[in-house]
Chains A and B, each alone.
Chain A
Amino acid sequence: MRKYEKYIRYRTFPTPWCPGCGNGVIVRAIAISLAEMDIDPKDIVVCAGIGCSGRIPTFFNTNTLHTTHGRALTFATGIKLSRPDKTVIVISGDGDALAIGGNHLIHAARRNIGIKMILVNNGIYGMTGGQCSPLTPRRFYTETTPYGNIEPKFDVVDLLSASKASFVGRETVVRPKALEKIILKSFQHRGFSVVEVISNCHINLGRKNKLRDPIAISRWIKSKTVSQKQWESLSPEEKIGVYPTGIRNEENERMEYTDLYQKHIVPNAQAGLKKR
C-alpha cells in the first residue's frame, strides 16, 4: 500500500466522473499532500459544494461533508472556528465558488481563516450539462451561450489577491507533479489558502468548442498557461488570455483568524470581565 492510500475511501468507487476527467488528478494530488504532511485522517474534514467537484470529498477516507451549492466555505468556517486544531479542506468548482458562492469566497479570504481551498476551474457547469460559468472564456459556446459568450471571466488569482487572501496560487491538472507541489505548499500555509486548479472538461466545455478530446483540451490548457518566469517576460499584448501558474501571494506574517480569536478576543473579553 502506498502511503497516500490511507486517505482514499475505496468503497465509494467508482467515481461519477466522465472518462478522462481532471478530478482524479486532483484527488491524488490532495491525498499525496496529506500523506506528505502525515495528518491523521480522523482529524481532517473535506467539504465541498455542488457540482462535479462537489463529489470529490466522498473519495477521501476522512470526515467528509457535502454541503449546499456555493456555501461549503460557510460550513467550513463554522468547523474551523469551533475546532481550530483540525485540518479543514474545501473543494469548490468555478460556478460554485465564484457565481453562487462569490460572496463567501471573498469574505473567507478577507477573514484569513485557516481553511485550505482547492478551486477546480473547468470553465463550465459540468454536472448540469454544460452551461456558461463566470470562468467560461469569452466567445465560447455553451448550452446557455448558443451565440458565444460575451461576458469576460474572472481572474480568480487577481480577485483573491485583491481580497487579501494570504496564499493564492494557480496550477493545472496537465502538470500533476507541479500540482502536488503547490497543493502541499498551500496545505502547509496557516491562513486562508486557495489554489486555482485549471481542469479539463472535454465533455461539456470541449463539445461545442472543438476541444472534444482530452488530449486536445489538455494542449489548449497548456497553451493558455505559462510559468511565472515566462509571464514576466511577456509583453502586455501577449499577456491577454494567458495565465501564469505558480504561487502568486504567500503572506505568512498575517495572523490566522482562529489564532487571532484566541490571542486577541478571548483574553480581552476575560480581562474586561475581571474589571467589572
Chain B
Amino acid sequence: MSKSQVLQGNAIVAKAALDAGCDFFAGYPITPSSEIAQIMSQRMPQMNRYFIQMEDEIASLGACIGASLAGRKAMTATSGPGFSLMQEHLGSACIGEIPLVIVNVMRGGPATGMPTKPSQADVMQARWGTHGDHPIIALTPATSEELYTETIRAFNLSEKYYNPVILLLDEVLAKAHEDFTVPDKSEIYLRKKERIKDLNMFDRKIGDNPHRVDFFRGYSIHMDGLEHDAHGWPTIDPATVDKMQTLRMQKIYHNLDDIVKFNTMEMEDADIMIFAFGISARAAMSAVEIARRQGIKAGLFQPLTLWPFPKVVLREKFFTRIKKLLTVELNMGQIKYEIERVARDDVEKKSLNRANGVPFTPFEILAKLKEF
C-alpha cells in the first residue's frame, strides 16, 4: 500500500495512463484537460515513450490512430469543442477496430461555452457524436480512486475489444485536488501479439474480438475507413456489410458482463433510486447519507460504464422493485431519457437538471427527494 497524497484529477488520470502502459500521447491544449498533456509531455520522454503536440484535435486523434496501428497504446485528452472535432476520427477508429483512449473533460457548452465550468452535457455526443452506427464504450468515474482504476480499465477494455474507449470526466473532477492513494496492483491487459494463419483479420464468430494484427508485424495488411470485408478490402456487398456491422456491434453487446460496471449505495432496501454519475454522483452520495438519517429510504445507482448503457442490469435487478427514480445530471436532460426508457411505466420519474456551470449540492438533491 503506497501512502496517500494530494493530487489533481488530471494528474491521477495521467498517472494511471502511464501505469497502464500508455506509450503514445498526442494532444492539443484545451481547458480543462491541458494538465494531462502537460504531465505527459514531461513524463513520456523520461520513460522513452512518445509525446507530440499536434496542430488540432483532429490531428491528435489521427496521430493516436496511426500510433495504435503501429502497436502503441495511444491516448489523447480533450474537452467538448475538441471532442466535437474528433468525431470523424472516432468513427474511423470504430470501423477500423482500433484500440485507443480518449479523455473528455466535459465543460459548459455549446461552442466555447464556459471553459472553466463543469458540465455533463457530452454524454450523448460520446454515444452518437460520430456518424453511422458504431459500438462505443464510455466510462464515468466519480472519485479520485475511480479516476485511477477507470483509466486503467479504459485501456484494458480498448485493448481487449479493439475499440476506442471514452473516459468522461468533468471540470470539477479533473481540476480538484483530492486525497489519493494508489490502489493495489492493477491488472494490465496486453494486446494479443500472436501470429495469424491468414489475413482474414476481421472474420470471427459473433461476440468474439477481431484477431487483427498491427502494422510491421510481418504481414502486409490493409486498413480501411471504408466499409470492408474480413480481409479489410473495401466492399459494398450488402450481405458482407451486414455481417461486419453486426460483428462490430456484437463484440460489445455480447460481453456486457465484462464491460458494464457500476456502484450502488444503500440500494438493498431503497424506495427511491438516484441515478447519477461523475461529479453529480459525489453530491448524491452525501444526499443519500443525509436522507437516510432523516428516514428517507434513498439509494444510489452510480454507473461506471455509461455506454453501453447498463439497461439489462437495471431492468432485471432494480426496476423489478424500485418505484421511484431521480436522475441527476449536469445538463438540460440527456441521460434521463435513456434511463426513463429502461424504467417501467409505473415508476415515478423525476429529474434534476441544469447546465449553468454550478454542480449540484447534496441539499438540492435532498430537496428533490422530498418532492416524491
Residue numbers of A with Cβ under 8 A of B are: 9, 12, 41-43, 45, 47, 57-58, 61-68, 71, 73-83, 86, 103-104, 107, 261, 265-266, 268-270, 272-273
Q: Are B52 and A68 in contact (CB under 8 A)?
A: no
The interface bits of chain B over 199-229 (1 if a CB of A lies within 8 angstroms of the residue's CB, else 0) are: 0000000000000000110111111111000
- Residues of the B chain whose Cβ atoms lie less than 8 Å from the Cβ of A62: 220
**Complex CA–CA separation, A47 to B92 (angstroms):** 14
- Residues of the B chain whose Cβ atoms lie less than 8 Å from the Cβ of A86: 70, 215-216
Q: Are A74 and B226 in contact (CB under 8 A)?
A: no
- Neighbour of B24 across the interface among A12, A63, A74, A82, CB < 8 A: A82
* Contact sample, A vs B, 22 pairs, CB 8 Å cutoff: A45-B70, A57-B222, A58-B222, A58-B233, A62-B220, A63-B216, A63-B222, A65-B66, A67-B62, A68-B88, A68-B89, A74-B60, A75-B66, A75-B69, A78-B62, A78-B64, A78-B68, A81-B67, A82-B24, A83-B71, A270-B48, A272-B46
Scan residues 157-214 of chain B and give those whose CB is less than 8 A from a CB of chain A.
none
- Residues of the A chain whose Cβ atoms lie less than 8 Å from the Cβ of B296: none
Q: Are B66 and A77 in contact (CB under 8 A)?
A: yes
**Complex CA–CA separation, A41 to B223 (angstroms):** 16
**Complex CA–CA separation, A65 to B65 (angstroms):** 11
Q: Look across to chain A and name the residue whose beta carbon is closest to the beta carbon of B74.
A: A78
Q: Look across to chain B and name the residue whose beta carbon is closest to the beta carbon of A276.
A: B46
- Residues of the A chain whose Cβ atoms lie less than 8 Å from the Cβ of B234: 58, 66
**B335 CB–A CB distance under 8 Å:** no
Q: Are A77 and B63 in contact (CB under 8 A)?
A: yes
Given contacts A67-B225, A82-B72, contact A42 B219 (CB under 8 A): yes
20 A-B pairs besides A45-B215, A269-B42 with CB distance below 8 A are A42-B218, A45-B216, A65-B66, A68-B89, A68-B92, A68-B225, A71-B58, A74-B58, A74-B59, A75-B66, A77-B59, A78-B63, A78-B65, A78-B66, A78-B68, A78-B69, A82-B67, A103-B59, A265-B45, A269-B46
Q: Are A64 and B42 in contact (CB under 8 A)?
A: no
Q: Are B62 and A68 in contact (CB under 8 A)?
A: yes
- Residues of the B chain whose Cβ atoms lie less than 8 Å from the Cβ of A266: 45, 48
**B56 CB–A CB distance under 8 Å:** yes
- Residues of the A chain whose Cβ atoms lie less than 8 Å from the Cβ of B58: 71, 74
**B318 CB–A CB distance under 8 Å:** no
**B26 CB–A CB distance under 8 Å:** yes
- Residues of the B chain whose Cβ atoms lie less than 8 Å from the Cβ of A9: 220
Chain B nearest CB, measured from A111 CB (Å):
9
Chain A nearest CB, measured from B101 CB (Å):
14
Chain B nearest CB, measured from A15 CB (Å):
13
- Residues of the A chain whose Cβ atoms lie less than 8 Å from the Cβ of B216: 42-43, 45, 63, 83, 86
**B364 CB–A CB distance under 8 Å:** no
- Neighbour of B56 across the interface among A43, A67, A103, A273, CB < 8 A: A103
Chain A nearest CB, measured from B268 CB (Å):
48
**Complex CA–CA separation, A107 to B60 (angstroms):** 12
Chain A nearest CB, measured from B251 CB (Å):
22
Residue numbers of B with Cβ under 8 A of A are: 23-24, 26, 42, 44-46, 48, 50, 52, 54-56, 58-72, 74, 88-89, 92, 215-216, 218-226, 233-234
- Neighbour of A103 across the interface among B46, B55, B74, CB < 8 A: B55
Q: Which 8 A-B pairs have the closest CB atoms?
A: A78-B66, A74-B62, A78-B63, A269-B45, A75-B66, A78-B67, A74-B59, A79-B66
Q: Which of A9, A81, A268 has the most CB of B within 10 A?
A: A81
- Residues of the A chain whose Cβ atoms lie less than 8 Å from the Cβ of B54: 74, 77, 107
- Residues of the B chain whose Cβ atoms lie less than 8 Å from the Cβ of A41: 220
- Neighbour of B223 across the interface among A12, A65, A78, A272, CB < 8 A: A65
- Neighbour of B59 across the interface among A61, A81, A104, A272, CB < 8 A: A104
**Secondary structure call for the A interface:** helix
**Complex CA–CA separation, A190 to B209 (angstroms):** 38
Q: Are B59 and A79 in contact (CB under 8 A)?
A: no
Q: Are A75 and B45 in contact (CB under 8 A)?
A: no
**Complex CA–CA separation, A246 to B216 (angstroms):** 33
- Residues of the A chain whose Cβ atoms lie less than 8 Å from the Cβ of B92: 67-68
Q: Are A78 and B26 in contact (CB under 8 A)?
A: yes
Q: Look across to chain B and name the residue whose beta carbon is closest to the beta carbon of A58.
A: B222
Q: Are B233 and A66 in contact (CB under 8 A)?
A: no
- Residues of the B chain whose Cβ atoms lie less than 8 Å from the Cβ of A272: 46
Q: Are B215 and A63 in contact (CB under 8 A)?
A: yes
**Complex CA–CA separation, A79 to B67 (angstroms):** 5
- Residues of the B chain whose Cβ atoms lie less than 8 Å from the Cβ of A265: 45
- Neighbour of A66 across the interface among B45, B48, B59, B224, CB < 8 A: B224
- Residues of the A chain whose Cβ atoms lie less than 8 Å from the Cβ of B221: 63-64
Q: Look across to chain A and name the residue whose beta carbon is closest to the beta carbon of B61.
A: A74
Q: Are A76 and B66 in contact (CB under 8 A)?
A: yes
Q: Are A66 and B67 in contact (CB under 8 A)?
A: no
Q: Which of A41, A42, A61, A82 has the most CB of B within 10 A?
A: A82
- Residues of the B chain whose Cβ atoms lie less than 8 Å from the Cβ of A81: 24, 50, 52, 63, 67
Q: Are B55 and A104 in contact (CB under 8 A)?
A: yes
- Residues of the B chain whose Cβ atoms lie less than 8 Å from the Cβ of A80: 66
Q: Are A71 and B220 in contact (CB under 8 A)?
A: no
Q: Are B233 and A12 in contact (CB under 8 A)?
A: yes
**Complex CA–CA separation, A88 to B42 (angstroms):** 27
Given contacts A61-B220, A71-B89, A269-B45, contact A78 B70 (CB under 8 A): yes
Given contacts A77-B59, A78-B62, contact A64 B46 (CB under 8 A): no
Q: Are B70 and A66 in contact (CB under 8 A)?
A: no
Q: Are A83 and B45 in contact (CB under 8 A)?
A: no
Given contacts A45-B215, A71-B89, A270-B46, contact A77 B52 (CB under 8 A): yes
Chain A nearest CB, measured from B221 CB (Å):
6
